[in-house]
Amino acid sequence: MDCIYKDPNAPVEARVKDLLSRMTLEEKVGQMTQIERRVAQPNPDLIKDHCIGSILSSGGSGPKEKASAQDWADMVDEFQKKALESRLGIPIIYGIDAVHGHNSVCNNGVHDNSIRGATIFPHNVGLGATRDADLVQKIGEATALEIRATGMHYTFAPCVAVCRDPRWGRCYESYSEDTEIVRKMTSLVTGLQGKPPAEHPKGYPFVAGRNNVIACAKHFVGDGGTEKGVNEGNTISSYEDLERIHMAPYLDCISQGVSTIMASYSSWNGRKLHSDHFLLTEILKEKLGFKGFVISDWEGLDKLHETRGENYRNCISSAVMAGMDMVMVPFRYELFVKELVSLVKEGKIPMERIDDAVERILRVKFVAGLFEFNFSDRPSLETIGCKLHRDLAREAVRKSLVLLKNGKDPKKNFLPLDRNAKRVLVAGTHADNLGYQCGGWTSSWYGESGKITTGTTILDAIKEAVSDETEIIYEEEPTADTLARRDLSFAILAVGEKPYAETPGDNLGGLVLPLNEADISLVTGNIPTLLIVVSGRPLVLEPWLLEKIDALIAAWLPGSEGGGIADVIFGDHDFKGRLPVTWFKQVEQLPLHIEVNSYDPLFPLGFGLTYKKE
Ligand X SMILES: OC[C@@H]1[C@@H](O)[C@H](O)[C@@H](O)c2nc(CNc3ccccc3)cn21
- In the region spanning residues 379 to 408, those forming contacts with ligand X, defined by CB under 6 A, are none
- Using CB under 6 A as the binding rule, whether residue 36 contacts ligand X is answered as no
Closest to ligand X by CB, 120 or 424: 120
β-strand 551-554 against 402-406: which pairing, if any? antiparallel
β-strand 271-272 against 267-268: which pairing, if any? antiparallel
Closest to ligand X by CB, 218 or 291: 218
User: Which residue in 455, 506, 598, 586 sits closest to 171, CA to CA?
Assistant: 506
β-strand 529-534 against 267-268: which pairing, if any? unpaired
Closest to ligand X by CB, 59 or 249: 59
- The least CB distance from residue 173 to ligand X, in Å, is 8
- In the region spanning residues 493 to 512, those forming contacts with ligand X, defined by CB under 6 A, are 502
- Using CB under 6 A as the binding rule, whether residue 432 contacts ligand X is answered as no
Per the DSSP assignment, residues forming a β-bridge with 33 are 327
- Using CB under 6 A as the binding rule, whether residue 168 contacts ligand X is answered as no
- The least CB distance from residue 504 to ligand X, in Å, is 8
Please state, as a whole number, how many other Cβ atoms lie within 10 Å of the Cβ of residue 610.
13
Q: By rule CB under 6 A, what string of x and - marks binding of each residue 53-92 to ligand X?
A: -----xx---------------------------------
C-alpha to C-alpha distance for 135 and 122, rounded to whole angstroms: 12
Q: By rule CB under 6 A, what string of x and - marks binding of each residue 449-488 to ligand X?
A: ----------------------------------------
- In the region spanning residues 282 to 301, those forming contacts with ligand X, defined by CB under 6 A, are 297-298
- The least CB distance from residue 502 to ligand X, in Å, is 6
β-strand 529-534 against 490-496: which pairing, if any? parallel
Closest to ligand X by CB, 103 or 376: 103
- Using CB under 6 A as the binding rule, whether residue 97 contacts ligand X is answered as yes
- Number of shown-chain residues binding ligand X (CB under 6 A): 9
- In the region spanning residues 214 to 233, those forming contacts with ligand X, defined by CB under 6 A, are 218
C-alpha to C-alpha distance for 117 and 560, rounded to whole angstroms: 9
C-alpha to C-alpha distance for 106 and 200, rounded to whole angstroms: 37
- Show which residues are catalytic: 297, 502
Instruction: Return the CA Rg of the chain.
Output: 25
Residue of 79, 156, 570, 603 interacting with ligand X (CB under 6 A)? 156
- The least CB distance from residue 156 to ligand X, in Å, is 3
Asked if 608 and 578 touch (Cβ cutoff 8 Å), the reply is yes
Closest to ligand X by CB, 95 or 455: 95
Residue type, 506: D
DSSP structural state of residue 177: S
Lateral strand order in the sheet of 216-220: 216-220, 260-263, 293-295
Residues 6+ apart with CB under 8 A from 468: none
C-alpha to C-alpha distance for 108 and 501, rounded to whole angstroms: 20
- The least CB distance from residue 328 to ligand X, in Å, is 6
C-alpha to C-alpha distance for 547 and 349, rounded to whole angstroms: 64
Asked if 123 and 559 touch (Cβ cutoff 8 Å), the reply is yes
- The least CB distance from residue 558 to ligand X, in Å, is 21
Residues 6+ apart with CB under 8 A from 514: 429, 495, 496, 497
- Minimal CB distance residue for ligand X: 298
Closest to ligand X by CB, 156 or 371: 156
Closest to ligand X by CB, 23 or 329: 329
- The least CB distance from residue 239 to ligand X, in Å, is 24
Residue 80 has φ and ψ, to the nearest 5°, of: -65, -40
Binding site for ligand X (CB under 6 A): 58-59, 97, 156, 218, 297-298, 445, 502
